[in-house]
Amino acid sequence: MNNMEQSFTTIQEARQWASLFLKEHQREPGVADWLLEHHLNMSYTQLMAYGRDPFPHEKKDSFVADIYKHTETGIPVQHLIGEAEFYGRRFDVNADVLVPRPETEELVEGVLRFIEKNGLTSEYLKVVDLGTGSGAIACTLSLELEHMDVYATDISSQALGTATHNAHQLGAKVNFYQGDFLAPVAGEAIDIIVSNPPYISHAELKELSDTVVQFDPHLALFADAEGLAAYHTIVSQIKSYHLTPMLIACEIGHLQGESVKEIIETGLPGYHAEVRSDINGKPRMVFAYSKTSVKSPDY
């Protein structure tokens, strides 16, 4: 795949060439549009409207090179363009952070809905995002509900560098700390804990696509104890730091619902945990409510 002599001359022809090429190599054809938007600095609507315009000659080599690179290696398009969209905002991403996923937007949505349904939108709440990565969850919560006091932790100082940059770019007020999940905020009376921790078991490595295994940091993906280690740690920290959050909201692997529910309800008898499905009907979240402080989760 080193033939850079592509015959397209218009934007539309470039789009046709790229999507067909990607499809023929078992890659997502939609990647063509993302890369066109990025290289031509156009929106999707502009791409459609100006399809018959000539493809700028000086941009051809770099566009074609990115299509080849993605096809050959599976490098996520977000790494090629250096950013990912999450909850309608752009976050810088790189090899140090997990590319934020659409299912995690549903976790954030669930937390926001909980706050709204319980009439807490104007309360002064302390929220912590454990394993913040790019800062996607923490920054979104802080920007959606400005009065909240948002904390975020990660074990990776490199990830925190990217998260801090993203918070700054987006104008989000988040307090970042390095450390093991809740440890850096042990002394804070946290109201809401939200986390998308690593949850893939080491045995599942062979089932993951190259796009994930080769490019997302393994620290973000894999956890011991069949992928459940992070939930065990978080629950035992809640207990030993005597924290009494009203809500604990976690993303989970689709087969982990009952296990995570049990880890929470056994470790924290004052909580009722419930497994929730994403828009594709897959169980991907656990929401646990404090029996004493939440009268009606009502979601």
Annotated binding site for S-adenosyl-L-methionine: 131-135, 154, 181, 196
Residue 246 in the binding site for ligand SAM (CB under 6 A) = no
**Chain centre to alpha carbon of residue 280:** 17
- Can you tell me which of 156, 162, 196, 233 binds ligand GLN, judged by CB under 6 A? 196
Residue 199 in the binding site for ligand GLN (CB under 6 A) = yes
Q: How far is the CB of 274 from ligand SAM (least distance, A)?
A: 20
Provide the residue count of the chain. Answer: 299
In the complex with ligand SAM, which residue's Cβ is closer, 137 or 263? Answer: 137
| Helix axis angle, 31-40 to 11-24, nearest 10° | 140
212's contact among ligand SAM, ligand GLN, none, with CB below 5 to 8 A by partner kind, is ligand GLN
**175, two tokens:** 């307090």
Residue 196 in the binding site for ligand SAM (CB under 6 A) = yes
In the complex with ligand GLN, which residue's Cβ is closer, 154 or 251? Answer: 251
Residue 142 in the binding site for ligand GLN (CB under 6 A) = no
Q: Rounded CA gap, 248 and 271, in Å?
A: 9
Residue 155 in the binding site for ligand SAM (CB under 6 A) = yes
DSSP classification of residue 216: S
User: What is the size of the binding site for ligand SAM (CB under 6 A)?
Assistant: 22
- Can you tell me which of 35, 77, 115, 221 binds ligand GLN, judged by CB under 6 A? 221
- Sort 74 into a burial class: Cβ within 10 Å, 0-12 / 13-18 / 19+: middle
Residues 199/187, Cβ–Cβ less than 8 Å: no
* Nearest Cα to Cα of residue 182 among 193, 174, 172: 193
- Can you tell me which of 22, 32, 128, 137 binds ligand SAM, judged by CB under 6 A? 137
Residue 131 in the binding site for ligand SAM (CB under 6 A) = yes
Residue 162 in the binding site for ligand SAM (CB under 6 A) = no
In the complex with ligand SAM, which residue's Cβ is closer, 233 or 259? Answer: 233
Q: How far is the CB of 171 from ligand SAM (least distance, A)?
A: 19
Q: Rounded CA gap, 19 and 15, in Å?
A: 6
249-254-256-261 Cα dihedral, nearest 10 degrees = 40
Helix, strand, coil content of the chain in percent (nearest 5): 45, 15, 40
**228, two tokens:** 């459940």
**Chain centre to alpha carbon of residue 82:** 15
Residue 227 in the binding site for ligand SAM (CB under 6 A) = no
Exposure on the CB side of residue 8, measured as CA atoms within 13 A: 25
Q: How far is the CB of 6 from ligand GLN (least distance, A)?
A: 32
Binding residues (CB under 6 A) for ligand SAM: these are 98, 100, 104, 130-134, 136-137, 153-156, 159, 180-181, 196-198, 219-220
Binding residues (CB under 6 A) for ligand GLN: these are 101, 196, 198-200, 212, 221, 251
